[in-house]
């Protein structure tokens, strides 16, 4: 016979186990907070269809698991996505960016119709590029940072010729790949997850051809502070190529945010954005600054050990709840416990 006491203990143990599991699950999955602090407004939205190419400035945008997607209500026109095109080498299938060819920042991409984009660049004729249907086109694996390989679909010989002429002044060498954004990278399966500064990456963090996560956010006041520290040189926030620009909070407040809410969209701050030579390229001229600014000044007051001593500016976000955001939306955050 089972006594009441035994039942009681068994029941208590079960309840404790369930509660324990719940607490563990909540901690592990970092549940979205209930209370928020208003810190400012969304000032600018920029989408970069081509990795290292020119931005498109938007007043509203859809935020998806793989990053920004143009909020086009017109279904007949191709909807552009952030970093869904990438330049790669014909021979080794290795990605190329403005770090290799600074004038890449001047390449403009726009949607022409349901399955064509237009490429434009100074001195070049406008090129119509057919965006390949998902299959059965030639699949490529484009090698990006740290040997990581990301799927792509090659965009054909005309785009290859156009890019090679513009960037190499040759008739071959570079090609264009397109990602259909049907899946995103799992950053927990990359080397980054092993590095202290990227240990907060989760399976939600990856984009497509983004360097790291699918969204990069910056704070206007941080860039203004940097400008104050530089002698005889000024930059705009566009040197840093953020997707979302916030106005209102004090400089570097963004470093301490844990969760961010804009409209119905919820993001989690998973890493600082460590900066490279790319920030020295003027996005309007495609020329690098002669004295490594703003990187030189940033290195002086924001030193860092991870990775390779690059100074940080801006934050990498992962998307936890998708939806639409608009310029002018209020920004709500929770701050990390200090
Ligand atoms: C990881 O997240 C925790 C909790 O928000 C935070 O305290 C820590 O600073 C983060 N680490 C990095 C390297 O971003």
11 lies in a domain? Answer: no
5 lies in a domain? Answer: no
Distances (CA, A) of 151 to 34, 136, 177, 200: 38, 14, 9, 24
264 lies in a domain? Answer: yes
Looking at residue 136, its pLDDT comes to 60
More confident of the two residues 290 and 58: 58
What does the pLDDT look like over 195-241, one tens digit per residue? Answer: 999 999 999 999 999 999 999 999 999 999 999 999 889 999 999 99
13 lies in a domain? Answer: no
31 lies in a domain? Answer: no
φ, ψ of residue 95 in degrees (nearest 5): -70, 155
More confident of the two residues 18 and 1: 18
Domains: count for the chain: 1
Residues in CB range of 163: below 8 A, 6 or more apart:
87, 119, 174, 175, 176
Burial class for 143, CB neighbours closer than 10 Å (0-12, 13-18, 19+): middle
Burial class for 265, CB neighbours closer than 10 Å (0-12, 13-18, 19+): buried
Q: To the nearest whole number, what is the mean pLDDT of the chain?
A: 92
Q: If pLDDT is split at 50, 70 and 90, which confidence band does 260 have? A: very high
Enter the pTM of the model: 0.90
Q: What is the chain's percent helix, strand, coil content, to nearest 5?
A: 25, 35, 40
Cis upstream peptide for 105 (omega within 30°): no
For the domain that residue 300 is a member of, what is the CATH number?
2.40.33.20
Q: Is the CB of 195 under 6 A from ligand 1?
A: no
Q: Which domain holds residue 197?
A: 37-335
Q: If pLDDT is split at 50, 70 and 90, which confidence band does 28 have? A: low
By most ligand atoms within 8 Å of CB, the mutation choice from 212, 272, 336 for ligand 1 is 336
What does the pLDDT look like over 273-315, one tens digit per residue? Answer: 999 999 999 999 999 998 999 999 999 999 887 777 899 999 9
Q: How far is Cα 60 from Cα 108, in angstroms, rounded to an integer?
A: 19
Q: If pLDDT is split at 50, 70 and 90, which confidence band does 11 have? A: confident
Residue 318 clears pLDDT 90, i.e. is over it: yes
Nearest CA to ligand 1 atom 6: 336
Q: Is the CB of 336 under 6 A from ligand 1?
A: yes
């Amino acid at each position: 016979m089972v006594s009441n006491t035994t039942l009681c203990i068994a029941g208590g143990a079960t309840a404790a186990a369930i509660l324990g599991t719940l607490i563990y699950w909540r901690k592990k999955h970092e549940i979205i907070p209930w209370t928020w602090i208003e810190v400012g407004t969304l000032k600018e939205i920029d989408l970069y269809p081509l990795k290292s190419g020119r931005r498109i400035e938007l007043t509203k945008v859809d935020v998806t698991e793989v990053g920004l997607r143009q909020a086009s209500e017109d279904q007949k026109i191709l909807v552009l996505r952030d970093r869904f095109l990438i330049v790669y080498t014909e021979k080794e299938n290795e990605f190329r960016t403005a770090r290799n060819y600074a004038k890449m920042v001047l390449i403009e991409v726009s949607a022409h119709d349901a399955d064509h984009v237009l490429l434009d660049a100074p001195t070049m004729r406008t090129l119509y590029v057919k965006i390949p249907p998902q299959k059965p086109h030639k699949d490529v694996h484009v090698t990006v940072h740290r040997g990581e390989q990301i799927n792509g679909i090659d965009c054909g010989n005309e785009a290859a010729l156009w890019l090679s002429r513009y960037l190499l002044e040759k008739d071959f060498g570079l090609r264009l790949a397109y990602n259909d954004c049907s899946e995103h990278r799992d950053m927990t399966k990359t080397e980054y997850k092993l590095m202290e500064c990227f240990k907060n990456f989760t399976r939600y963090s990856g984009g497509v051809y983004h360097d790291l996560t699918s969204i990069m956010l910056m704070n206007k006041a941080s860039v203004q502070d940097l400008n104050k520290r530089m002698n005889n040189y000024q930059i705009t926030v566009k040197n840093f190529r953020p997707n979302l620009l916030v106005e209102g909070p004090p400089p570097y407040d963004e470093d301490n945010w844990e969760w961010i809410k804009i409209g119905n969209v919820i993001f989690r701050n998973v890493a600082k954005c460590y900066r490279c030579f790319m920030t020295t390229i003027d996005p309007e001229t495609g020329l690098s600054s002669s004295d490594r600014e703003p990187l030189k000044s940033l290195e002086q007051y924001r030193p860092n050990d991870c990775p390779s001593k690059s100074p940080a500016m801006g934050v990498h976000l992962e998307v936890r709840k998708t939806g639409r955001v608009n310029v002018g939306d209020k920004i709500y955050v929770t701050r990390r416990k200090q």
